[in-house]
A = this chain, B = another copy of it.
Amino acid sequence: MSAAEIHDNMEARILKAAKSLFIEKGFEETSMSDIAANVGINRPGLHYYFRTKDKMFHAVFEDIILSIVPKVFTILMQQERPIAQRIEEVVNAYYSLFLQNPNLPMFIIREMNRDVSQLVETATRLHLPDRLKEVTDSLQEEMAHGKLRRVPLPFLFYNLYGLLVMPFLTQNFVTSIYLDNEKTFVEMLNAWKPYIVLQMTTLLTCDMPRDDSFSTPFL
């Protein structure tokens, strides 16, 4: 194995450990010592591969975003498929990601609040705003053609992510109060899924009393 390969290999090992710790405990509460101990090297070793804690974090965060966001964008743009089907697939994608990392929703929301500008910066570097615009344009086209009801985009966002993320954010709490074990939690998640899809499709297809006092340029 060449020196470069050893280097890459160690870099990957560090990233893996850092990712798991950052997700579990957040940026501030994760120390370089924690990560070093987890990888099996010394604190200064980390600084050799990633000069600062910040740079390590950026790498981890980018990795996480790339693992889900493009997938969701692609699903949402498939205009030929019924919206209920697309939503269900989006929910499935998030479910499978979150079930592997139950702390991920918490992590992302915390990060959103700790440092928005960094998040926006990372997203821009990955050209996600451009891709997002394509998605919203696509949805608005469907709305304009009457295929979907006109709903302000932030409301779609709140509806989907609120319903999707709340069970994970409160997993510990709900489990300790209502449920006996983790298996029950997964069963509950599966029973919850159709509610999410139904609420979203209702919002996007059925006529509901609507308050037009709030209008925005973005829908």
Contact = CB atoms under 8 A, between A and B. Distances in A.
Interface in A162-217: 162-167, 169-170, 172-174, 176-178, 187-188, 190-192, 194-195, 198-199, 202-203, 208-209, 211, 213-214, 216
A159 interface: yes
Contacts of A116: 172-173, 176
Contact of A216 (B103, B176, B178, B190): B178
A29 to B, nearest CB: 6
A191 B213 contact: yes
Interface of A: 28-29, 103, 106, 109-110, 112-113, 116-117, 119-120, 152-155, 157-159, 161-167, 169-170, 172-174, 176-178, 187-188, 190-192, 194-195, 198-199, 202-203, 208-209, 211, 213-214, 216, 218
A65 to B, nearest CB: 13
Given A154-B167, A194-B211, 14 more contacts: A106-B110, A112-B172, A120-B177, A154-B174, A154-B178, A154-B188, A159-B195, A162-B163, A162-B165, A165-B166, A187-B214, A188-B214, A199-B199, A199-B203
